[in-house]
Structure 1
């Protein structure tokens, strides 16, 4: 089962993974550098303006969950942070370079098409063409340990469907126009998930498999369980 992440968790982990891959000589990051990375104006959606206290609280929570570690260099009093969310000896989530780049981009920018991912992942991993992205997305959907991404219903006036990571709640589907066939909708109020069952991307030949749907449900159940634990008795 995937580790449920909040939107702030996703931004912090995505920023750490990005800097680990793109500027390894400046990694790990101090809290100030991490704040700047989270609030960066490029390669981010949505744009945020987080203060140091918010980022520090998020980092501290991720440390308790063993997703981030603190590292202080010899002779340095400034603590620095690195992610142990994926591709480390401390966890079980092992990804290829392209898969790591895809997950990083989805954490930082939300759902994207394979074509969009191809252009953006190329700054973190060698990508020759979009077919490599599509193959990686397929592998991430069909992992034996559970899907990491899901194919979303195709948005109106878009040729390709977007893919979303399954660590945070899925985005609501876009509203359809009257000219389109009316979808059957099912809602999960706590998670804000809307699935359009009549959309063509939910056909048996699509990438949104029973396994990825099961992974969505599992992730939502974990989020709801976490919410119940936080409610006062």
Structure 2
């Protein structure tokens, strides 16, 4: 069980270590340089970060204090490995889901099944939902199902390892235009309607 919420960079560092263990096993455990590159990766990341190696190393020390990361000795280059499953007390399947949520932000169960394929293969979407439900029902919840966004077919899930999601209402409002934008669009529609009416009148056409 976590002693405290993770910072966004701590979550990113931890998730990168879990990801790279499966995607580039020959390079794992990771050097500080490889770990920094993984944190700053432009693809499969939301948000995209731009952090220095010094920031990553300072974060590693914080994660070591939480027993979530270990230093690997016996190499000319210092390398790092995660202790996610044991440190968090979760099975591998749940670890894969949390990793992708930390790397890519909120996702639907179907998206998570696809994105976790290289970390853990789920039989179907219902099995993904089963693990997510278990994570959400823990004494210290690790995941939460967000309100369905307007027009969305499925609800998205988010992790809670960095603390509560800022606002369920904000999450539900993703994709909704702001009041000012609505007013502007209405004004533009009214202007276009007026223009069409004038053109129709000039041509002797009843709109």
The bucket for the TM-score relative to the shorter chain is 0.7 to 0.9
Alignment RMSD: 2.0
Q: How many residues align?
A: 172
Q: Distance in 1 between matches of 2:94 and 2:66?
A: 23
Alignment match, 1:80: 79
Residue 6 of structure 2: aligned partner: 5
Where do 1:1-233 residues align within 5 Å? 2=2, 3-73=4-74, 76-84=75-83, 86-88=84-86, 91=87, 93-143=88-138, 145-169=139-163, 170-172=165-167, 173-174=170-171, 175=173, 176=176
Assess, with a 3 A threshold, how the Cα gap between structure 1 residues 178 and 110 changes in structure 2: closer, same or farther.
closer
State the 1:177 CA deviation.
5.9
TM-score, normalised to structure 2, is 0.75
Taking structure 1 as the reference length, what is the TM-score of the superposition? 0.68
| SS class of match (2:54) | helix
Task: Determine the C-alpha separation between the residues in 1 that align with 2:12 and 2:105.
Answer: 10
Structure 1 ranges of 4+ moved more than 3 A: 174-179
Q: Which runs of 5+ in 1 are unaligned?
A: 180-233
TM-fit CA distance, 1:41: 1.9
Cα deviation per residue 1:172-198 (whole Å; 9 max; x = unaligned)?
42435699xxxxxxxxxxxxxxxxxxx
Secondary structure at the counterpart of residue 85 of structure 2: coil
Q: Deviations over 1:112-141 (max 9, x none)?
A: 111110110112111222111111111111
Q: Which has the higher helix share?
A: 2
Task: Name structure 2 gaps, 5 residues minimum.
Answer: 180-207
Offset at 1:49? 1.8
